Each structure stands twice: as structure tokens, then as C-alpha cells.
């Protein structure tokens, strides 16, 4: 496990060199005053997952390859030398972009774009390795015909392994782990900055040895080029702990469920990753998901608005199965708002109609198999591009409607079912963020959080005002959305 919170201090590389001046009379070439700084760099690279060697202050080949791996990973110029201008990136490096793979907590991911491989343990980044893959050039294969030196991409499992040296037609492989046909992840004396192999994935000899105890037959291995627009995750300002201290001292706070494009819900018991997730399928892709306590038993469960047929589908348990209550809902373009709008302890589904910039408050569920009843009240609210969400922002026991304006990041909160000026306004989140609210600290008041699909983080706030998030939750990138789950 990485000690990300402790990664710090290599900013002072140059400072240390100055402080640790050689004593009078020493031969500078023997004393090598930079050794302390090199050791500090080695430790920082080890903490971030790039270095597995001894912290000995020696800037040897293994340290140089760790620097190369880091440069590849963060998109810096590929070289074997360290540059202090990279210290900020190393201090704030959190994790790579990778596809979301909840079902495979232990796996190898090979990023051909960056020429690195990632080892995941328990769905957490364990180590980053420099690699060199197929260079794409034609060559004559063992059958005398032309091949192109491409590394196969796709979703594999490690199939077989040979310990030690394997002499193949194209050269010597060390400790090869075959993932398809004759293609293997293997040790090689040559791991340059760029693709150089005939299609295998080269590791350094020492990484190959290190991995002997880490890999196994059947281990999932995925080989891919990185999609445009994604990349490694860095801590904003270097201050936010990812999956850091629990924001919920009582253990009785609201949590979240993320759902993917296949409508699989990943329900976290606690927002701090401390507890096991429950996962279940509900709904279809492109359904609008929300949650509420439809039967008043104190448990929040999913609801869906299916735009293709205009129906709402509510379920009373967090398990796979069909809807318990179904009713026709609103007009095309309407957005569902789920909450307890009258404070009677049961959630209902209200309507935000962007075309009219209007909220329709409805305190009863629709008749099962029928339609939604008449609205109890309505009021003008927001702009057509605003994204509404629901919460009890003042802790009075009644839910009201907030708005997130993605174009500016403005958040508007209203504590009553009336139009007019917002009761609170602040800026939070980026375009593309998904905003929800919940009582993350068990103080009775709902506050906002945003999920950012591009970096996989949920940014959680415990006060409805400006400023940075109070904590982040590492959910994985590319999920379709997030909903609030009850405590």
C-alpha cells in the first residue's frame, strides 16, 4: 500500500544539496553530497509506486528507470535524468487513469500510450513499471513471412509462465508471463523510452524478478491505448487526501451509490471506502437514476425515469429485480426530483420542467400502473440548462430543490417551495461534474458533492459555501452518475 499522504519533501532537493556541503578537505567525488537528496528522491518514487529498489542514495540504473517510468506516466520528456521541476508533479501524483473494473481488484493494466504497466492490488494502485512494447515495424517471423511488431490489445488473463530464461525465435525472454499466444510480459536487458519490441511487453530485469511473487496464472491483464482527454490523477493543490480520513465520525452518515453505463449500481456502505460495496443491476442505460425511501422503512432505494416510455420505476430494495411501483410521469424533457417535500417521512417524485423553468411539487407517489397525481404546488425556478438536485439544506426535515449551473459552477439553494432569490449561492464543481447532496457528516444538514467522471473522484463538502472540498472519494473514472443513499 502506498503512503500517498506522506509523499512530500523532494521539492527541497536543491536545498538539501546546499545544506549538506562536503566537509572541508573531503574529495567531492568520494563524498557525493547529492546522495542524501538522491535517497530522498528514491523514497518519494517508492512511495508513489515507481521504485522498488534500495533507498541507498545511488543514482543507478534502477533509479534511472524509476525516473523514466515517472516521466512516461506524467507525460514529461522521456529521459533517465531527474529534474527538480518535476517535484511538484511527484508530490501530488495520486493514480493513473484506468478503466473502471470493480470485479477485478487484482490485475495488471498495460498503458501502451504511456509505455507503463500498473499493478493493482485490492483495486488500489500498487506499482508502476516502465515497459517497452511492439514498435509496429515489419519483421520476418519464424515461418519466414512478414509480421508487424504490434502488441495485442484487449482483455486477457495470464495463461502460462516460464521461470527464468526462455530462448525464442526473436530473442531471450526472462520470466515470461504469456497473456495470448506467444506474447508475454517479460524481463529484458533493454527497456528504452519508446516501443522497441516485436510485440511482447518488456520489463526491466529487476522488475521481472520483483514480479515473480506478484503475478499468477489467471490474473486479469488488460492492454490498451489511453483514450484522448484522460490521464493520471493529481491531488488538487496537493492537499486533498484521496479516500482519506472518514468524513463521518459517527458512522451514521449518508453514503452514495455510483452507477455505470450498464445501470449497475455500486452501493457504498460508507463514503470513506471503509466498508464493502454491494453491487446490483437496475434499469437500462440512459435511464435517469435517483433514490428515495418510497415505503417509509428508512432505507433509500433506487428509482428510474425511463425517458423512452415516460414511466418511473421504483424499487424498495437494493437488490436486482423488477420495479415495485411503476407510474407514468410528466412530459418529455422533464427531470425527476425525489425527496420528502412535506416532511412526512416518505419520499415522493416531483418534477423539474426545464422548458417552463418550473418545479412541480408532488407529495404522493403515482398510482401503481397509473399516472402521477396533480401537483401540490409549483413555482418558477432556474434556467433551462440548470441541473436540479434535492436536499434538506437547512436541516428542518423538509427537502427542497437546489440547482447546479454547469456553465459557471454556480450552485443555488432554496429552503422553501417558493420562487425568488436563492437562500444560498456559491461556486462548486466543473462542467461535466454530477452534483448530489447528502448529510455526509451526520449533523442533520445536507450539503453538496460532485462526481467528476474524468478523474473518478467524488468531491465532498460539509458546508454549503465556497472553497475547496472537505474530502474526496476515489470511485473510479467513467461512471455514468452518482446517487445519494441513506445512512
Candidate residues 73, 123, 260, 293; the one interacting with Ca ion per rule CB under 5 A: 293
123 vs 293, beta carbon nearer Ca ion: 293
137 vs 297, beta carbon nearer Ca ion: 297
142 vs 250, beta carbon nearer Ca ion: 250
Residue 287 interacts with Ca ion (CB under 5 A)?
no
Residue 364 interacts with Ca ion (CB under 5 A)?
no
**How many residues make contact with Ca ion (CB under 5 A)?**
16
In angstroms, what is the minimal distance from the CB of 427 to Ca ion? 20
47 vs 340, beta carbon nearer Ca ion: 340
Question: Contact region for Ca ion (CB under 5 A) — 128-136, 160-168, 265-273, 342-350?
Answer: 342-350
Question: Contact region for Ca ion (CB under 5 A) — 75-83, 151-159, 283-291, 431-439?
Answer: 431-439
135 vs 398, beta carbon nearer Ca ion: 398
Residue 344 interacts with Ca ion (CB under 5 A)?
yes
Question: Contact region for Ca ion (CB under 5 A) — 61-69, 156-164, 323-331, 441-449?
Answer: 441-449
Choose among 226, 233, 259, 286: nearest CA to 456: 233
Question: Which stretches does DSSP call E strand in 211-275?
Answer: 220-224, 233-234, 255-259, 264-268
Question: Which stretches does DSSP call E strand in 269-332?
Answer: 277-281, 288-292, 301-306, 311-314, 325-328
In angstroms, what is the minimal distance from the CB of 310 to Ca ion? 23
Can you tell me the distance from the alpha carbon of 334 to that of 482, in angstroms, rounded to the nearest whole number?
Answer: 19
DSSP string, 107-124: EEEEETTTTEEEEEETTE
326 neighbors 314 (Cβ within 8 angstroms): yes
Residue 254 interacts with Ca ion (CB under 5 A)?
no
In angstroms, what is the minimal distance from the CB of 300 to Ca ion? 6
**C-alpha 147: how far from its chain's center?**
38
Beta-carbon contacts of 327 under 8 Å, excluding residues fewer than 6 positions away, are 311, 312, 365, 366, 367, 368, 369, 370, 371, 372
Candidate residues 175, 197, 326, 445; the one interacting with Ca ion per rule CB under 5 A: 445
The angle subtended at Cα 291 by Cα 233 and Cα 350, nearest 5°, is: 120
In angstroms, what is the minimal distance from the CB of 331 to Ca ion? 23
Cell numbers at residue 373, please?
397525481
Can you tell me the distance from the alpha carbon of 331 to that of 393, in angstroms, rounded to the nearest whole number?
Answer: 28
Residues 371-430 interacting with Ca ion (rule: CB under 5 A)? 392, 394, 396, 398
Exposed / middle / buried, residue 144 (Cβ in 10 Å: 0-12, 13-18, 19+): exposed
Q: Which residues bind Ca ion (CB under 5 A)?
A: 293, 295, 297, 299, 340, 342, 344, 346, 392, 394, 396, 398, 439, 441, 443, 445
Amino acid at each position: 500500500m502506498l503512503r500517498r499522504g506522506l509523499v512530500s519533501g523532494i521539492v527541497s532537493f536543491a536545498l538539501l544539496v546546499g545544506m549538506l556541503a562536503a566537509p572541508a578537505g573531503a574529495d567531492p567525488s568520494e563524498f557525493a553530497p547529492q546522495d542524501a537528496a538522491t535517497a530522498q528522491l528514491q523514497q518519494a518514487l517508492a512511495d508513489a509506486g515507481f521504485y522498488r529498489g534500495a533507498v541507498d542514495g545511488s543514482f543507478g540504473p534502477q533509479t534511472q528507470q524509476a525516473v523514466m517510468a515517472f516521466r512516461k506516466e506524467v507525460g514529461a520528456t522521456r529521459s533517465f535524468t531527474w529534474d527538480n521541476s518535476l517535484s511538484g508533479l511527484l508530490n501530488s501524483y495520486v493514480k493513473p487513469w484506468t478503466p473502471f473494473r470493480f470485479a477485478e481488484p487484482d490485475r495488471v493494466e498495460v498503458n501502451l500510450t504511456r509505455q507503463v504497466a500498473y499493478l493493482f492490488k485490492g483495486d488500489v494502485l500498487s506499482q508502476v513499471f516502465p515497459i517497452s512494447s511492439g514498435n509496429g515495424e515489419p519483421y520476418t517471423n519464424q515461418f519466414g513471412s512478414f509480421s508487424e511488431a504490434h502488441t495485442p490489445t484487449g482483455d486477457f488473463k495470464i495463461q502460462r509462465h516460464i521461470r527464468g530464461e526462455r530462448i525464442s525465435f526473436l530473442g531471450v525472454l526472462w520470466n515470461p508471463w504469456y497473456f495470448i499466444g506467444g506474447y508475454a510480459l517479460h524481463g529484458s536487458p533493454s527497456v528504452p523510452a519508446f516501443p522497441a519490441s516485436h510485440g511482447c511487453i518488456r520489463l526491466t530485469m529487476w522488475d521481472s524478478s520483483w514480479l515473480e511473487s506478484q503475478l499468477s496464472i489467471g490474473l486479469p491483464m488488460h492492454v490498451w491505448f489511453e483514450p484522448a482527454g484522460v490521464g493520471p490523477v493529481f491531488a488538487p493543490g496537493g492537499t486533498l487526501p484521496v479516500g482519506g480520513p472518514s468524513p463521518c465520525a459517527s458512522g451514521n452518515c449518508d453514503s452514495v451509490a455510483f452507477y455505470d453505463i450498464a445501470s449497475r449500481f455500486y452501493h457504498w456502505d460508507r463514503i470513506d471506502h471503509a466498508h464493502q460495496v454491494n453491487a446490483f443491476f437496475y434499469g437500462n442505460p440512459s435511464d435517469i437514476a435517483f433514490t428515495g425511501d418510497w415505503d417509509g422503512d428508512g432505507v433509500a432505494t433506487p428509482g428510474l425515469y425511463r425517458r423512452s416510455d415516460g414511466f418511473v420505476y421504483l424499487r424498495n430494495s437494493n437488490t436486482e429485480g423488477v420495479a415495485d411501483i411503476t407510474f407514468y410521469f410528466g412530459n418529455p424533457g422533464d427531470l425527476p426530483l425525489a425527496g420528502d417535500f412535506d416532511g412526512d417521512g416518505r419520499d415522493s417524485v416531483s418534477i423539474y420542467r426545464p422548458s417552463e423553468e418550473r418545479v412541480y411539487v408532488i407529495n404522493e407517489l403515482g398510482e401503481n400502473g397509473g399516472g402521477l397525481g396533480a401537483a401540490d404546488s409549483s413555482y418558477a425556478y432556474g434556467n433551462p440548462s440548470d441541473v436540479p438536485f434535492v436536499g434538506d439544506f437547512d436541516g428542518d426535515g423538509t427537502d427542497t430543490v437546489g440547482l447546479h449551473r454547469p456553465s459557471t459552477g454556480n450552485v443555488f439553494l432554496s429552503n422553501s417551495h417558493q420562487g425568488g432569490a436563492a437562500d444560498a449561492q456559491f461556486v462548486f464543481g466543473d462542467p461535466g461534474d454530477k452534483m448530489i447532496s447528502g448529510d455526509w457528516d451526520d449533523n442533520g444538514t445536507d450539503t453538496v458533492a460532485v462526481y467528476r467522471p474524468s478523474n473518478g473522484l467524488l468531491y465532498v463538502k460539509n458546508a454549503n459555501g465556497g472553497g475547496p472540498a472537505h474530502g474526496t472519494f476515489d470511485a473510479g473514472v467513467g461512471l455514468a452518475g452518482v446517487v445519494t443513499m441513506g445512512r
